[in-house]
Structure 1
């Protein structure tokens, strides 16, 4: 019971993070956006850092943002259905992109986001599936034989 309450609290908190990052009119203030751009420019100055573009950074960030989604979804599912955590992540991402296209004119709905979010969800769900496969299965409730 405590496990489910903790999982519910973590899921609700992360749902707020996803909502804040994807379904509000603006993710960053101009100062925060400037900081991100400066950080990318700094990394590009490093040896072999030229590949680190804004688009690639965003793609990698989207993967990272949805790893917990896949993990949480897999934790809610029965052990053998862990892979559906990735399906949940793709469905959630698709819904977000549709909502952005329909209701948030200042946001950009991009099918690549569904791909990167789906990859993140797959990574998270796979991690949970792997860890669960290494742990012993929980014991079922034992039924006591009736005595006359």
Structure 2
């Protein structure tokens, strides 16, 4: 039984944290599969991707939209959830953890690919792209946390 009124911010924070934890777990599994798959994950789609990029060029896309751009963009997108989930779980005061975790996770993945997966390519560009994604995700997390706080108000402190 609750001794007083339930603070809506605490309720929203609890639900948000639980949902974020489950999403983080699912994301980590998917990220591990993508990162440590023995062969490049786009191997079977390479031809289709190049055909799509060619189609884009034929329809006015600039020439800098190429395979390297697509790969860099995919790496950015892949790590947005790192910054988002870590930022949501760490909170606004420790927002920077999303970026730090993203950077070190990317470094660990690239080192693992370099050491154990001869068909994969470990690159500094991937670390840069992944870290940019973590930065974007961290900014989104801060915006979400701000929106939750703005909508539900500051948490009330209980009397001791």
TM-score by length of 1: 0.86
Between 44-53 and 72-81, report the one with greater CA deviation.
44-53
Partner residue of 1:142?
158
Alignment of structure 1 residues 99-118 onto 2, 5 Å: 99-118=112-131
TM-score by length of 2: 0.80
In structure 2, runs of 5+ residues without a counterpart are 1-13
- Give CA deviations for 1:54-92 in whole Å, capped at 9, x if unaligned: 011111111111111110010110321112201110010
Cα pair 1:73 1:85 within 8 Å, conserved: yes
Distance in 1, matches of 2:107 and 2:46, equals 25
Partner residue of 1:92?
105
How much does 1:129 deviate? 1.3
Cα pair 1:83 1:126 within 8 Å, conserved: no
SS at match of 1:121: helix
Give structure 1 regions of 4+ aligned residues with deviation exceeding 4 angstroms. none
Q: Is 1:12 paired with 2:25?
A: yes
Q: CA RMSD in A?
A: 1.8
How much does 1:138 deviate? 4.8
Cα pair 1:63 1:118 within 8 Å, conserved: yes
Cα pair 1:83 1:129 within 8 Å, conserved: no
Which of 1 and 2 has higher RCO (CA within 8 Å, sep 6+)? 2
In structure 1, runs of 5+ residues without a counterpart are none
Q: Is 1:52 paired with 2:68?
A: no
Alignment of structure 1 residues 11-50 onto 2, 5 Å: 11-26=24-39, 27-30=41-44, 32-50=45-63
Distance in 2, matches of 1:82 and 1:25, equals 33
Between 45-54 and 84-93, report the one with greater CA deviation.
45-54
SS at match of 2:120: coil
Pairs aligned (count): 143
Between 12-21 and 127-136, report the one with greater CA deviation.
127-136
Distance in 1, matches of 2:33 and 2:50, equals 20
Partner residue of 2:96?
83
Between 120-129 and 3-12, report the one with greater CA deviation.
3-12
